[in-house]
Chain A
């Protein structure tokens, strides 16, 4: 199967700072990537669809100015959590579609203190 690499796997940041998470498709080109957030004991919630070369499409209730998504190449999408607050602490996961399947990155555990 295809490989999606996400970095970093864990990050702790201070309240008010920004954090960037990278998602790379290693062996295929992904024109579309997806960003999810998962709180403890809850399911994956789709935050936004990242489209190469164009603006991301955000799901209802997700602040686009807070969660900045950039998909500058066919193999890289980034999610920047701006002015992070403790309530942003969560597990962030990216995925990319290859054929009929969606492959997931390893996830990033963000803790805002």
Chain B
């Protein structure tokens, strides 16, 4: 079983819709959870991180964490074509950051 799992997609949503990205992880000792966005040929950029169960909102983005289910998600409201990218879920245990395979999001006008 992979440590961090994501659906590779592509996930296609119309402009203005909500995009929902999901991630599961295997290590219950994981301490913090991150969402990164990566455009083709570029390095990842941090969108947000979350430590505690529940929701965390930052602008159009909401991260949700459920440690009991070992599940973390990212909601993108009012999706824009510029949001089209690969979204990487990452999980930290001790000092290492382990990445999922990423979900490719396509937002069409």
- Give me the interface of A with B, judged by CB distance under 8 Å: 1, 6, 32, 34, 36, 42-46, 49, 91, 93, 95, 97, 100-107, 109
B residues near A6, Cβ cutoff 8 Å: 43
In the complex with contacts A49-B95, A49-B96, A100-B101 CB distance below 8 A: no
Residue of B nearest to A109 (CB): B41
Of B44, B90, B96, B98, most buried by chain A (CB within 10 Å of CB) is: B44
B residues near A103, Cβ cutoff 8 Å: 46
User: Can you pick out 15 interface pairs between chain A and chain B where the beta carbons lie within 8 Å of each other?
Assistant: A6-B43, A32-B95, A42-B101, A43-B88, A43-B99, A45-B99, A46-B96, A100-B49, A100-B51, A102-B46, A104-B43, A105-B43, A106-B42, A106-B43, A109-B41
Instruction: Assess whether A34 is in contact with B101, with CB atoms less than 8 Å apart.
Output: no
A32→B100 CA distance, assembly (Å): 22
A80→B48 CA distance, assembly (Å): 32
Instruction: Assess whether B99 is in contact with A44, with CB atoms less than 8 Å apart.
Output: yes
Instruction: Assess whether A93 is in contact with B101, with CB atoms less than 8 Å apart.
Output: no
A102→B98 CA distance, assembly (Å): 11
B residues near A93, Cβ cutoff 8 Å: 43-44
A47→B34 CA distance, assembly (Å): 19
Residue of A nearest to B94 (CB): A49
18 extra interface residue pairs, beta carbon distance < 8 Å, beyond A36-B99, A44-B99, A95-B97: A32-B95, A42-B101, A44-B44, A44-B88, A45-B99, A46-B96, A46-B97, A46-B98, A46-B99, A93-B43, A101-B49, A102-B34, A102-B46, A102-B90, A104-B44, A104-B45, A106-B42, A109-B41
* Shortest Cβ gap from A39 to chain B (Å): 11
Is B32 an interface position by the 8 A CB rule?
yes
A103→B43 CA distance, assembly (Å): 10
A100→B99 CA distance, assembly (Å): 16
A residues near B90, Cβ cutoff 8 Å: 102
Choice from B41, B43, B95 contacting A97 with Cβ under 8 Å: B95
Instruction: Assess whether A102 is in contact with B97, with CB atoms less than 8 Å apart.
Output: yes
A residues near B51, Cβ cutoff 8 Å: 100
